[in-house]
Chain A
Amino acid sequence: MPQSFPNAGNAIIVLALRDVIVEHKAYLSEVDGAIGDGDHGINMAKGFSMAADSLDPTASLSEGFKHLGNTLLEDIGGSMGPLYGNFFRKMARASRKEARITATVFETMLSDAVTSLVDLGGAKVGDKTLLDVLDPAMTAYREALATGESFENALGILGASAEAAKEGTKDMVAKLGRAARLGERSRGVIDAGAASCSLILNTLSAEFTKRLG
């Protein structure tokens, strides 16, 4: 089984992301409603749909991510527009010169995206944000590669740890964003950003794995 797939022609993965986000629109809003405004699903679905509608599906994965990132940044606003917008733009930038997406290319993409997210939003691990999914998932992915796991296995580990980390945000007290004003009352519910982030990472994991053979 090849342990990479071509960058070219894979902008279509953005459509899979759109499908998952739209499918979970009500769920994301409900999770958000517990400690936030309850509009996370609506805004995410709107942004990903807008990007998908104007996407050139024959473009490269990098171009697809850039298009998605720009759409979220320009048209969505809120907190998730800039956070996910920058996230996908950085993944695009880190991969745009690569002919193939390998385990190491994806590691750099993730790492650049996470760094920019921290710079922009100022979140720290444990603040009950999407970083609490991204950071442990990325760490698990890295450790898997370091211990000699294949790209495919590492992607599986990435998705599983994202899901576990999402559940882990339930026990955290929000320290950033609107939910932070709740203090202890934010404990007991999953963070909405963490929920969408796990969906995104698991979709990337599944779509990448499909293309490995």
Chain B
Amino acid sequence: MQRIFNDPDDIVNEMVDGFVAAHPDIVTPTANPRVLKTAFTYPEPKVGVVTGGGSGHKPAFIGYIGKNMVDAVAIGEIFSSPSAKNFLDAFKAADQGKGVACLYGNYAGDNMNVKIAIEDAEDDDIEVKTVVANDDVPSAPGDEREKRRGVAGEVLMWKVGGAKAAMGGTLDEVIATAQKAIDHCRSVGIGLTPCTIPSVGKANFSIEPGKMEVGIGHHGEPGIQVDDLKSADEMAQMSLDIILPDLPFASGDEVVALVSGLGATPVMELYVYYRKVAQLLGDAGISVYRPFVGNYFTSLEMMGVTLTLMKLDEELKTCMDFEAYSVGLKQS
């Protein structure tokens, strides 16, 4: 394994330590080593925004802690949900008496641990409401959207939810707006190589050389089809063919387009891919209000790309335009 770590069992804790050392102006440690919180304070108490998930997705999740973004994050092992106690401690770290919006992705472990943590939070009189991201189109058919996974659309959900909370929205308003954000998001991923959890030591799925997996999940969950490796332009076309009809997006729509590498993809290739996405969207009469191209939600060292589109309305635009300062996303 050509990777950079010490004892594989320490990799998450050491990553957190390094992150805190690098960004003391943005994040603050808490008594629980698996919970980080924002270093920013607000003039008035606001709704706390929390997320959490397994590690290995940098800059998600802790990279979205910041000003007008996420207030506290529960940190799990690599690709494994944080414990209920970690979610509970994140709720406590974020709570300012206005309730907590827990905006997280649809995975079995996260669902269970959040459920237990919410019950425990009731004992501490912290009101917690959730939005469960499910933007990944290939993970389930459209009539079973509740089964779909949350992927890079979560970044936009946090941006919008964080802005709404910072604007002084009530808990119900923050939840409604974050829910709208994810309901307006559709994503798809294409994987070219597998990834390896250091403590496991070997890739736990395989993609043959010369092949690619369309619809792959953030942990290597198999996609909808294995194809011969295609050109960047063909990948862009395939991605849009999957997500455009699903919402559906239509001529005249304004969207946020988010292209994320999966960890090992050269950023220049993300731009090659985005070039075609932008052309095809233009051809379809869909205008990109704000593009994001880079590593926003990765999967260790997987080679591949994800595309997320979010259809905008005035409220979502206002939230996207709102100032934000985090490691993963900055908006001035």
Contacts and interface: CB of A to CB of B under 8 A. Distances in A.
A76 B83 contact: yes
Contacts of B77: 39, 43, 77-78
B204 A37 contact: yes
A30 B322 CA distance: 47
A182 B109 contact: no
A181 B113 contact: no
A6 interface: no
Interface in B175-221: 197, 199-200, 202, 204, 217, 219-221
B222 A74 contact: no
A42 B200 contact: yes
Contacts of A46: 9
B138 to A, nearest CB: 9
Contacts of A124: none
B312 to A, nearest CB: 29
Contact of A78 (B76, B197, B204, B221): B76
Contact of B108 (A32, A43, A177, A182): A177
Interface in A2-44: 29, 32-33, 36-39, 42-43
A39 B78 contact: yes
A114 B61 CA distance: 33
Interface string A58-83: 00000000000000011111110111
A82 B79 contact: no
Interface in B5-56: 9, 54
B85 A74 contact: yes
B112 interface: yes
Contact of A74 (B81, B83, B219): B83
Contacts of A36: 204
B80 interface: yes
A38 B115 CA distance: 25
A16 B14 CA distance: 32
A1 interface: no
Nearest to B85: A74
Given A77-B83, A78-B77, A78-B81, A176 B108 contact: yes
A178 interface: yes
Interface in A66-120: 73-79, 81-83, 85-86, 120
Interface centre among B112, B149, B199, B222 (most CB of A within 10 A): B112
Contact of A77 (B81, B147, B202): B81
B107 interface: yes
B81 A38 contact: no
Nearest to B9: A46
A38 B82 contact: no
Contacts of A38: 197, 200, 202, 204
B112 A79 contact: yes
B326 interface: no
Contact of B200 (A33, A77, A180): A33
B219 to A, nearest CB: 6
Given A39-B78, A181-B221, A75 B83 contact: yes
A86 B120 CA distance: 14
Contact of A37 (B113, B149, B197): B197
Interface string B105-141: 0011100110110000000000000000000000110
A76 B77 CA distance: 8
A33 B112 contact: no
A211 interface: no
Nearest to A36: B204
24 contacts: A33-B202, A37-B80, A37-B204, A39-B79, A39-B200, A42-B199, A73-B116, A74-B83, A77-B84, A77-B86, A78-B80, A78-B81, A79-B81, A81-B81, A81-B109, A82-B84, A82-B109, A120-B115, A177-B108, A178-B107, A181-B140, A181-B217, A182-B221, A185-B222
In the complex, the 3 A-B pairs of residues with the closest C-beta atoms, listed nearest first: A38-B204, A77-B83, A79-B109
